[in-house]
A and B are shown apart, each in its own frame.
Chain A
């Protein structure tokens, strides 16, 4: 039940004040009474009223003056002017000053209550409209940056579901902010003061996953030298976020299902079950239903966890959010790197907007960081952006695959090689040599970190060399074949360094390891 509307009665004549209070006694409102304008101002600030019944002739200053002061202080109550002076001028002035209605003394009970009820209803509608407008125009929400309509829908869903205990299943492309969404669900919930425990099911070796989730007792297996609390116990009272849930082995899914159903689990090697109060949030960048149909994800677990779906839109479907995010990232990166960048040039913002961002926010983050690290100035110009952004075709419609997402698209990966010391080269004052290599790259090209340059001979040609080979003909092959080829190419490019290869591909190292295991098991690798 909501609190009764608060009415501030501003009336210096006791008989009038008594009369108004008596007439409103059974109106279901809470009345406070001020005899002077000064007292009314102080009261309105201390106890913001929903409506003010205002006598114009007050001992210290006029009711009109009080209305101006209230407005200046941000008091948004509905003001009803009550006066013994029934002149048209007074009424006009009252409305001009923002009064919602006007009552002439003496008034009957019905006149007062109807006027007050109307004013309160109007104010409630105005407040509701204001709230809705504010919600529709939010550009930040628990770590998210974005004002687009798809993100407003995400914010509203998170707010709606936060208070519940229902499991949330987050889907979305890589880099769309699934963990951020999980944290937002937690922070907006009554569990916010309790732990948020995130576990990446794809990054943990399958043999260790059960112990990571449920913990183990000393001696449970070789190497279990002590009792260890798992994520389930750590998250007691809070939220357990299971990222990349689609990577969870089937045998572990059975145990998770029991835990989800009963809230009970058994640490590895323990003889007793433990019970906790945990809210589940899961995420995957796969289509969970397709995983169920393919037999890789248990249907019963799917239905237990897929209670409130939350599908995060890709950056290309988020209107102008890419620019909003880029600005925020630029501020942050500039601060962290000690640079002076304050914003983007209009053509740079147009390029950011036009690009499809197949790697989503994570890719945008990398690009902004790279620009900040490699350049100086107050404004990021289009020339500072990676070439792929400048060549980008207009964005595909929302929901369509990103223009550069297919791995077959040849993409120029700029490798920027800073020279150890500026070298006087005829025709060039640039201290940085830029070499662009045309390589078939996975969707989001990564700018390689600066590496030490070889010694530069004075006889070398000018250092700014740009070699861009024509794109090779595209041969469409099964995605799995392309995926394998790309991963192996990245490994070859990085001398079999899985972490660097994964960084080049903008995927998790665990995915590379998993794929290698799969191919080995299938005899597809030597």
Chain B
């Protein structure tokens, strides 16, 4: 699975003026920073509800820009009543960094 889905990211770049596209990417970066922090915090506290909410938001945000691997990881955190896994939080963090790098390359 690629870090970015070229169809979604490419469609966005095609549909939107470059200025709008860049603003969305910047907003996504800000979202990522906040949501990964919330995920890690919820995992440390064992707060299932907060973990799932942050994972849901992260899945939606990453799906919006075509960050498919990050979206898939976030979706793992959306379901189930299992205690939040620090390993999953770490995986999400890794995928987030990869998605940001791919997006940076796309907007360069």
A residues lining the B interface (CB < 8 Å): 12-16, 18-19, 22-23, 25, 55, 57, 59, 83-85, 105-106, 108-109
Complex: A105 Cα to B71 Cα, angstroms: 11
Query: Which of A55, A59, A84, A108 touches B63 (beta carbons < 8 Å)?
Result: A84
Complex: A18 Cα to B28 Cα, angstroms: 9
Expressed in whole angstroms, the minimum distance between the Cβ of B72 and any Cβ of chain A is 12
Known: A22-B23, A106-B8. A57 touches B56 (CB 8 A): yes
Query: Which of B27, B28, B57, B75 touches A57 (beta carbons < 8 Å)?
Result: B57
* B53 within 8 Å of A (CB atoms): yes
Complex: A146 Cα to B78 Cα, angstroms: 60
Query: Which of A13, A22, A85, A108 touches B61 (beta carbons < 8 Å)?
Result: A13
Contact status A84-B59, CB under 8 Å: yes
Expressed in whole angstroms, the minimum distance between the Cβ of A107 and any Cβ of chain B is 9
Query: Which of B11, B28, B59, B60 touches A108 (beta carbons < 8 Å)?
Result: B11
Known: A14-B30, A57-B53, A84-B60. A106 touches B24 (CB 8 A): no
Question: Which 5 interchain pairs have the tightest Cβ spacing?
Answer: A22-B20, A15-B28, A109-B15, A15-B61, A84-B60
* B101 within 8 Å of A (CB atoms): no
Complex: A55 Cα to B27 Cα, angstroms: 18
Query: Which of B16, B20, B27 touches A15 (beta carbons < 8 Å)?
Result: B27
List, in ascending order, chain B residues with CB within 8 A of A83's CB.
60
Contact status A18-B24, CB under 8 Å: yes
Expressed in whole angstroms, the minimum distance between the Cβ of A117 and any Cβ of chain B is 16
Contact status A15-B64, CB under 8 Å: yes
* B77 within 8 Å of A (CB atoms): no
Q: By the criterion of a CB under 8 Å from any partner CB, how many residues of chain B are at the interface?
A: 26
Expressed in whole angstroms, the minimum distance between the Cβ of B42 and any Cβ of chain A is 13
Can you pick out 14 interface pairs between chain A and chain B where the beta carbons lie within 8 Å of each other?
Answer: A13-B31, A14-B30, A14-B31, A14-B61, A15-B64, A16-B61, A18-B24, A25-B20, A57-B60, A83-B60, A84-B71, A105-B60, A105-B63, A108-B15
B residues lining the A interface (CB < 8 Å): 8, 11-12, 15-16, 20-21, 23-24, 27-28, 30-31, 53, 56-57, 59-61, 63-66, 71, 75, 78
Contact status A106-B27, CB under 8 Å: no
List, in ascending order, chain A residues with CB within 8 A of B20's CB.
22, 25
Expressed in whole angstroms, the minimum distance between the Cβ of A115 and any Cβ of chain B is 15
Most buried by A among B8, B11, B61, B78: B61
Contact status A106-B15, CB under 8 Å: no
Expressed in whole angstroms, the minimum distance between the Cβ of A20 and any Cβ of chain B is 9
Contact status B27-A18, CB under 8 Å: yes
Contact status A19-B24, CB under 8 Å: yes
Complex: A12 Cα to B60 Cα, angstroms: 10
Complex: A500 Cα to B80 Cα, angstroms: 91
The chain A residue sitting closest to B74, CB to CB, is: A84
Given A16-B64, A84-B63, output 6 extra A-B contacts at Cβ < 8 Å.
A14-B27, A15-B31, A16-B60, A16-B61, A22-B20, A106-B66
The chain A residue sitting closest to B12, CB to CB, is: A19
List, in ascending order, chain B residues with CB within 8 A of A18's CB.
23-24, 27
List, in ascending order, chain B residues with CB within 8 A of A22's CB.
16, 20-21, 23-24
Contact status B8-A23, CB under 8 Å: no
The chain B residue sitting closest to A59, CB to CB, is: B53
Complex: A12 Cα to B15 Cα, angstroms: 23
The chain A residue sitting closest to B30, CB to CB, is: A14
The chain A residue sitting closest to B5, CB to CB, is: A106
Complex: A280 Cα to B93 Cα, angstroms: 79
Complex: A59 Cα to B34 Cα, angstroms: 14
List, in ascending order, chain B residues with CB within 8 A of A12's CB.
57
List, in ascending order, chain B residues with CB within 8 A of A84's CB.
56, 59-60, 63, 71, 75
List, in ascending order, chain A residues with CB within 8 A of B8's CB.
106
List, in ascending order, chain A residues with CB within 8 A of B66's CB.
106
Contact status A15-B11, CB under 8 Å: no
Complex: A22 Cα to B25 Cα, angstroms: 12
The chain B residue sitting closest to A82, CB to CB, is: B60
Contact status B53-A105, CB under 8 Å: no
Expressed in whole angstroms, the minimum distance between the Cβ of A435 and any Cβ of chain B is 87
List, in ascending order, chain A residues with CB within 8 A of B12's CB.
19
Complex: A34 Cα to B61 Cα, angstroms: 16
The chain A residue sitting closest to B52, CB to CB, is: A57
Contact status A105-B23, CB under 8 Å: no
Most buried by B among A18, A23, A108: A18
The chain A residue sitting closest to B9, CB to CB, is: A106
